[in-house]
Structure 1
Amino acid sequence: MERAIDHKVQDYRMMVFGEVVKLAWAGKLKHEADELPEKILKGHIQDEKERRIVENHIRISMGLDPLTGDAYHRLEEDVDSAMNQDRIKAPLVSVIEDVCETCRRHPGNETAAERENCPREYLDCTEEAHRCIGCGRCIGDCPLGAISDKIEFLPVVKLLKEQQAPVFAAIAPAYVGQFGRGVTPGKIRNALKRLGFTDMVEVAVFADILTVKEAYEFDHMVRTEEDYLITSCCCPVWVGMIQKNYKEIAEHVSPSVSPMIASGRVLKALNPTARVVFIGPCIAKKAEAKIPELEGAIDYVLTFRELKEIFAVLEIDLETLDEENREEASFAGRVYARTGGVSKAVERSVERVLKRNIPFKSISFEGTGECKAGLEKLIKGEIKANFIEGMGCTGGCVGGPRAVVSIEEGKKAVDVYSLQTQMETPFDNDNVLQLITRLGIKRWEALEIDEEEHVRGLLSRRLGEGNYLQ
C-alpha cells in the first residue's frame, strides 16, 4: 500500500503537472509559464528559494532538468525546448537540490545515521556510477519530494495537436481497473482517441507474441534437468539487476525484448511513420525505452497516474463515454500484469504445442529484495525450477510505483479481465496470427529460431556490456 507521505508528495506533484497540462493544451504555456509559481502557491511565495523550488517542479513536469547551482533562466524560455524534445534526456530521475538543502539529512544538518538512510545517498541517479536499477524506490522514500521522474507529456501534446503522423497509445496489461470501477477498456480507448491518439493498442497482444517466443526459447534452452531459462519479459528492473550484479547467469536470460519494445517495433514496422506512446505503471519503462539497443521503438512513456491527471484536467469523464471495445489479447497476454503471470502464460503455451520429457517448473520472485535473494539461491544451486520469473515490484506490474489503485485491487481487476476471454493461449488468438502473418512470419517456430532477419530485429535483443538502465 502507498504510504501517506508518498501520497501527499505525489498529489502535489500531480497538481503542478495538471497546471502545466492545462496551459499546454490551450496553447498558453509559453505566455503564462512565468506566472505559474504564483498561481500554484496562491500568491504566498515566501522567498526566491521557494519560487525556485516550484519552478524546478514545473521543469520536471515539462520533462526538463531542474536548475542547479547559480544557473537561472525564465520558465518561458524553457517551454520551446520542452515541446520540441524528440527524446527526454537522461537522467530521467532528477534531484531538486534546493529541496535537499532543507532536509535534516543534508550535509551539516544531519546525524551520520540519518544521512545513511537518505534515499539519494543509496540510489543517486545523478551520478555516473550510481546503483540505480530503475525501481523508483528512492522517489517514494524521499519525504520532501526532492527526487522525481521527468514527465514526458509536453512533446506528446505537440504530436497530438499537429496530427502529422499516426500516434498510437500502447497501454500496459495492468491498466484494467486503474481508472475507476466503471471504466472499461473500451471507454479508455474512446478517451485516448478524444485526446487525439489514432488508436489504443493493448500491449497484452504483444505479450501474447512474446509468450510464443518464450515457449520455444524454453524448449530450445532447457534440454536437461540442470538447464533453466530466465525470462526477460516485462520487467527492466529484473533484467537490469541481473546484468549489473549477476552477470555469471546472464547467458540463461531469454533474448526476447519486453512486450513494450515489441509493441513499438511491430507498430512501426506496419506503420513506418507512426509514433508510439507507452502508458504503464512503471518508472523504469522510461529508462528502458532509451536504452541504445532498444531506442526508437517507443517515442515517449506516460504513467497511469499522469494519464489520470490528464483526463481530469481536460475534463474527460471516462464513465460517461461510449464503449469502443474489441478483444485483442488472450488470457496469457493479459495475466502478464501480475506476479507469476508470465510463468503461467508460458507454461500453458508449452503444454499446448510442445511434447517434452522434462516438465515445466517455474518460480516467481517479486520486489527487489526477494528478486536479489532468489538470484543468490539460483546461483548457489538451491532452486530446482527451470523457468525463472522476476518482477521488481511487489505484486508485479500492478504494484508499480505509478499505479493508481492498490496492489490488491489491481490483481483482482487483472484476474477478472484475464478470465473474461475465451482465448486461453496465443495459439487461440487470431489477432496474433494476423500480426505475425503481416510481418512475414510463416510459422510459429520462427519466433524462436529467428530465421527471418526482421523477426530477430523486432523481437530479440542482446544484453550489452554497459549499464542496462542509464
Structure 2
Amino acid sequence: MKPICLETQILNKYKTIIFRELIKLVWNENLDNIDDIPKNILEHVKSESNQEIDEDTIINLIRVILGLNPLESIENIRLKDMIYESINLDKVEMPIISIIDDACKYCDNTKYECLIKNKHINCNKQNTCSACGECISKCKLGAISDKIEFIPIINILKNKKHPVYAILAPAFTGQFGEDISSGILRGALKSIGFKDMIEVALAADILTIIEAYHYYEHMKNNNKDYFITSCCCPVWVSLIKSKFPEIVGNISSSVSPMIACARIIKVLNPEAKVVFIGPCIAKKKEAISEDLKGDVDFVLTFQELDEIFKALNVNFLHIKEDNRLESSYCGRVYAKSGGVSKSIEMVLKEIDEYIKFNPIAFQGPKECMEGLEKLINKEIDVTFIEGMGCKGGCIGGPKKLIPLDEGEKYMDKYLQESKLETPFDNLNVAQFLLEIGIKKIEDLGDTNQDKIQQIFNRNIEN
C-alpha cells in the first residue's frame, strides 16, 4: 500500500500542542484524565486535516516530549505511568535526538533520501552525532525530534528542596520580544519557581580571560602553531573530535561558558540545580557528555521556554523587571560568529599588545568542515581558529524564535548598550572569582591552579 503523505512537519505541530497541554496538567497535578490525550489528539488531527495518525506514533511523540526514549512496542503502556517516570528523571539520557519510527509508514519518500529509513540518526549510539539539529528540520514529517526536558523540572521547581538557577545564553536578546530585557526574563523565571537567573555572558567574560592566557602561553612557546578555541559550540568540538582527531591537541582545554557558569553556581551552592536556556539542541548533549555530566542538570531551548510561559500564563506586562548589569561587551558578543575571536583579541591587547593574533571564524557545518580541511592541508595561515555550528553563531541556532537577521539587529543593539568593554572592567567577574577562592582576575593566567583546573578545564580528548 502506498504511504499516505501527511502534512509537512505535522508531528512538530502536534508536539507543541501536546507539550503545552502536558505542562498545564502536570503543573496543576491534574492527571485524572491524562490517558485520554492520545485519543483526543488523534481525533483532533482527523477533524482538522482529514488525516490519520496511529496511536503508537502519538504515544512515542509524547515520550519524546517527556524526555523519554521512544519504544518499539507501546502495548499496555499508560500515559500516567510515563508521566511519573518523567517526573522522577534525574537527567535525560542519550540519545538526545530520537526517531519516531512509527511515522515512517506515512512518508512517501519521493523528494529526498529519507533520513529516518536510512537510520542516519542512529549515529547517536556511537556518540558521533553532534546533535546540531539539521536532520530535524530535514525530516518532512517532523518524526525526528529532540527530547524536551521540562517535565522532570516541574517538581524540583515546586517543592523548593533545591534552589533552581536558570542560566541564560547571550543570544536571548530580542527572542521573546523587542522590549523583553534580561531583567524581565529573570522576573518571569522567578515567577515560576526559579531561584535566580544568571547570564552565561558573565561566565563568558571569565572564559575570555582564560582563553586569552591559554592562547598567550601556547603562542609564546610555539609561535608557528595555531590554537583552536573550544568555547561555546559543542557542534564545533564534536566535528573536530570525530572528523579531524589529528588536531585535537590544538584545542583549548577550557569548558564552554555554559559549563563554567553551572560549575561556579554549584561551587557556591552544592545543593543547587542548574537549567541552561538557549537556542541550541547540541547543548542538551553537551550537558550529559561523559566528562561534563552533573554540571548542568537540564537544558531548555528558547522555543520550549516560550511554550512554558504561554502554558503557565506568564504575562511579561505583569512582571517586575529585575535588572542588573552582569556582563561586558566581550561576554555578550560570544553569541555571534566571530565573537569569541573579537573578545580574545580585546583581552590579549591588555595582556600583551605585541603577541601575534591572526584569527579566522567558520560558521555553519559546511563552512566549518571546509575550513578545517583547508587548515589540515595548510591552505590557510592563521593562529586562532573559531567555529560555530550555526550560521551567524548562536543567534542562528535551530531553536531560535526570530529570524537570523532580526537576531543580529537585536544583538548589535545589546552590544552597543554594554557599559563595560572587557572582563577587566567587570566587577562581577572579580566578585565571582573571589567567592570561589580566586583572589584576583590576573590569577586566571595561572591555569595550573587546582581551582582553575577544577572549574574551568576539561579533558578535551574524552
- 2:334 maps to which of 336, 339, 354: 336
Matches for 1:23-62 after TM superposition, within 5 Å: 23-29=25-31, 31-42=32-43, 50-62=54-66
Q: Distance in 1 between matches of 2:39 and 2:449?
A: 58
Residues 1:435 and 1:7: Cα distance change in structure 2 (over 3 Å) = farther
Residue 123 of structure 1 aligns with which residue?
120
3-state SS of paired residue (1:364): strand
Residues 1:127 and 1:233: Cα distance change in structure 2 (over 3 Å) = closer
Judge conservation of contact 2:95–2:125 (CA < 8 Å) in 1.
no
Judge conservation of contact 1:234–1:259 (CA < 8 Å) in 2.
yes
Q: Distance in 2 between matches of 1:305 and 1:21?
A: 14
Matches for 1:144-159 after TM superposition, within 5 Å: 144-159=141-156
1:64 aligns with 2:52: no
3-state SS of paired residue (1:101): helix
Matches for 1:288-437 after TM superposition, within 5 Å: 288-356=286-354, 358-437=355-434
Amino acid of the residue matched to residue 456 of structure 1?
Q
3-state SS of paired residue (1:87): coil
Q: CA deviation at 1:119?
A: 5.9
Judge conservation of contact 2:263–2:295 (CA < 8 Å) in 1.
yes
Residues 1:175 and 1:134: Cα distance change in structure 2 (over 3 Å) = same
Q: Deviations over 1:394-448 (max 9, x none)?
A: 1100111111111111111111111211210000000001111111113434324
Residue 468 of structure 1 aligns with which residue?
none
3-state SS of paired residue (1:301): strand
Q: CA deviation at 1:57?
A: 1.3
Residue 215 of structure 1 aligns with which residue?
212
Judge conservation of contact 1:286–1:300 (CA < 8 Å) in 2.
yes
1:97 aligns with 2:107: no
Q: Distance in 2 between matches of 1:235 and 1:321?
A: 32
Judge conservation of contact 1:395–1:407 (CA < 8 Å) in 2.
yes
Q: How many corresponding residue pairs?
A: 452
Judge conservation of contact 2:210–2:447 (CA < 8 Å) in 1.
no
Q: Deviations over 1:365-387 (max 9, x none)?
A: 00000000000111111212211
Q: CA deviation at 1:253?
A: 0.4
- 2:451 maps to which of 451, 454, 458: 454
Q: Distance in 2 between matches of 1:324 and 1:58?
A: 35
Q: Distance in 2 between matches of 1:372 and 1:331?
A: 29
Q: Distance in 1 between matches of 2:171 and 2:124?
A: 32
Q: Deviations over 1:300-332 (max 9, x none)?
A: 000000000010111111144221111100000
- 2:87 maps to which of 75, 83, 87: 83
Q: CA deviation at 1:24?
A: 1.0
Q: CA deviation at 1:461?
A: 0.3
TM-score with structure 2 length normalisation?
Answer: 0.93
Runs of 5+ consecutive residues of structure 1 not aligned to the other structure: 466-470
Q: Distance in 1 between matches of 2:318 and 2:441?
A: 41
Q: Distance in 1 between matches of 2:363 and 2:392?
A: 6
Q: Deviations over 1:3-45 (max 9, x none)?
A: xx8876544321221111111111123x332111233344566
Judge conservation of contact 1:278–1:301 (CA < 8 Å) in 2.
yes
3-state SS of paired residue (1:222): helix
Q: Distance in 2 between matches of 1:214 and 1:264?
A: 18
Using the TM superposition, name which of 335-344 and 315-324 deviates more. 315-324
- 1:234 maps to which of 199, 207, 232: 232
Matches for 1:280-295 after TM superposition, within 5 Å: 280-295=278-293
3-state SS of paired residue (1:243): helix
Q: CA deviation at 1:177?
A: 0.6
Residues 1:355 and 1:138: Cα distance change in structure 2 (over 3 Å) = same
Q: Distance in 1 between matches of 2:168 and 2:64?
A: 23
3-state SS of paired residue (1:125): helix
1:12 aligns with 2:14: yes
Judge conservation of contact 1:9–1:143 (CA < 8 Å) in 2.
no
Q: Distance in 2 between matches of 1:392 and 1:458?
A: 25
3-state SS of paired residue (1:128): helix
Judge conservation of contact 1:215–1:350 (CA < 8 Å) in 2.
yes
Residue 3 of structure 2 aligns with which residue?
none
Q: CA deviation at 1:336?
A: 0.5
TM-score with structure 1 length normalisation?
Answer: 0.91
3-state SS of paired residue (2:55): helix
Judge conservation of contact 1:268–1:274 (CA < 8 Å) in 2.
yes
Amino acid of the residue matched to residue 350 of structure 1?
L
3-state SS of paired residue (1:54): helix
Give the percent of matched residue pairs that are identical in Structure 1 and Structure 2: 44
Q: Deviations over 1:342-391 (max 9, x none)?
A: 111111011123243x4211110000000000001111112122110000
Q: Distance in 2 between matches of 1:354 and 1:120?
A: 55
Amino acid of the residue matched to residue 276 of structure 2?
F
What is the RMSD computed on CA atoms of the aligned residues? 2.1
